[in-house]
Amino acid sequence: LPSSVEIETAEKKTDLALAVATLPPKYRAVLLLRYDHGFSETEVAQILSMSVDNVHKTIQRAKKKLERILEEQEGYLHEDHR
């Protein structure tokens, strides 16, 4: 049987994947290329035909939006499923 830590880690990964899936395509693309596929910001810029500065700003905006989505999910889980 998996430990409670393993279950919690799996649940967090699922929550994160669901939250990423709700992001606008541009935000989702930069995050997945940067963190899931491991490309540098310069490489992401080349792949998406964007400036490196624009990639950096888009990543920052995407992280903030993702954080808000996760906070909303967390609130929903704590309020409705106690």
Distance CA 46, CA 42 (A): 6
pLDDT value at residue 82: 41
pLDDT tens sequence across 23-81? 999 999 999 999 999 999 999 999 999 999 999 999 999 999 999 998 888 775 555 44
Name the nearest CA neighbour of 27 among 11, 50, 10, 4. Answer: 50
Distance CA 71, CA 15 (A): 11
pLDDT tens sequence across 6-17? 887 788 888 888
